[in-house]
Each structure stands twice: as structure tokens, then as C-alpha cells.
Amino acid sequence: MENNTILYRGAEAEICYCYYHGNPAVKKRRVKKRYRIEEIDKKLISSRTKEEVKLISDSRRQGVSVPTIYDVNLQDGIITMEYLNGERIKDILNDLGEDKRIKICNLIGESIAKLHNGNIIHGDITTSNMILYNNQIHFIDFGLGGKNGETEAQGVDLHVLMEAIESTHSKYSKCFKYVLDGYDKKLKKDSSQVIKKIDEIVKRGRYR
């Protein structure tokens, strides 16, 4: 692939292909948004870039697969990291066989438990932000995350995934249950507290 080919243009960042000392890599560049004022834009871009890098390395320490970070530029909001030549879970989940789908969902849940064991909140757990590469589920895009060990934050984190599964994989909404099975297996504290919290968050929403 050519240097600087844009692989993906998300809502807040562009991912382009590049080389880092000869190795295939990607550059994630958070794009300046003209719709918001400079004060908000600058702060969001630098704080999210910083937070993301910190959380990616913390996650690795918890045993969760994440891309290796090569370089960071806070001013311009650019992270250079390992190129994961795999597939987004969003694109493959609906087409998997039932057994394989359950397996993948269990693994997702186990990884989320490992994050939460380390007080890491991902902040945007959707199937677009997981890549299956080398038989491992890699988590990406920690830009909305943070460090927090409270049950509330963990419940909100899982609630985001629940909504993503309901909207994008609506035929397989049981998937969330399989995720919780894996979560329960690896979470150090009692997962029933967090699951209770999810119900509470759902009911807090409008018209529930």
C-alpha cells in the first residue's frame, strides 16, 4: 500500500497507512473541527490524544490486545501505531456461525473485564472499535476513555456496547449476553453489581 493512503475516515479522526522505520504502521490524526470554537477543539484534541495513548499502554499491561504505539504528537493530535491487518468485528459478526459468534463475544467480554480490573474505561466500546487480528481481539480508539474503577462507569461502558449490538447486530441481540458471560468469567469483583447497574442506566433513559 502507498504511503499516506487514507484507510478510514471516522467522525473525529483519519487513519492513514504509513511506514515507521520500514514497518507498516498507521497514523491516527484527530481532525480539527470547524464547527466548534478553538477553545473546545484544541482541548478535546490534545486531551483525547494524550488519554488514548496512556490507556492503550495501560490496557496492554492488563493483558488486553492493543496496537503498539510508535510515536505521539500532542499538538497536532497524531498517534503513530502498529498496523493491524485484520477485520473489524462489526463487519464479520453477523456472518459468523453461531458457535464462533458466541466464542468471539465471550472473548470480548473477557477483554472488557480485564480493562475494568485495571480501572480502565474504554468509553466507546462498539464492534467498530475491535479488530480481529492474529486470532486476538484488539481494542482500538480509546479517545473517550479514562481511568475509573467505579461500578457506575463500568456499567456505562458496557451500556454503550449493549446499544451498539442492539442497533448494528439487532438480529443477534443475544450477543450481549454472551459478552456478559465472558465478562463474568474474568472480572475480579462480583459482576452482578455491574450488570445491575446496566439495568439501572437503561431505566434512567427516556421512556424505559
- What is the contact surface with another protein in residues (CB under 8 A)? 9-12, 33-37, 39-40, 43-44, 123-126, 128, 144, 156, 159-160, 163-164, 166-168, 170-171, 201, 204-208
The nearer residue to another protein, 81 or 125, going by C-beta atoms, is 125
E-strand ranges in the chain read: 6-9, 13-20, 23-30, 69-73, 78-82, 87-88, 120-121, 130-133, 136-139, 146-147
Shortest distance, position 21 Cβ to another protein, whole Å: 31
Helix axes 151-168, 191-204, angle to 10 degrees: 60
Beta carbon of residue 81, minimum distance to another protein (angstroms, whole number): 20
Catalytic residue chosen out of the listed positions 41, 95, 124, 184: 124
* C-alpha cell at position 126: 462498539
The minimum distance between CB 151 and another protein, in angstroms, equals: 15
Clarify whether 99 is annotated catalytic: no
Strand partners, 133: 136
Kindly tell me which of 76 and 152 has the beta carbon lying closer to another protein.
152
C-alpha cell at 185: 468469567
Q: How far is Cα 199 from Cα 204, in angstroms, rounded to an integer?
A: 9
The partner residues of 6 in beta bridges, in order of sequence, read 16
Contact, 183 vs 150, CB < 8 A? no
Q: How far is the CB of 42 from another protein (least distance, A)?
A: 11
The residues with which 131 forms a beta bridge, in sequence order, are 88, 138
* Shorter beta-carbon distance to another protein: residue 44 or 69: 44
Q: For another protein, give the closer residue by CB, 31 or 70.
A: 31
Active site residues: 124
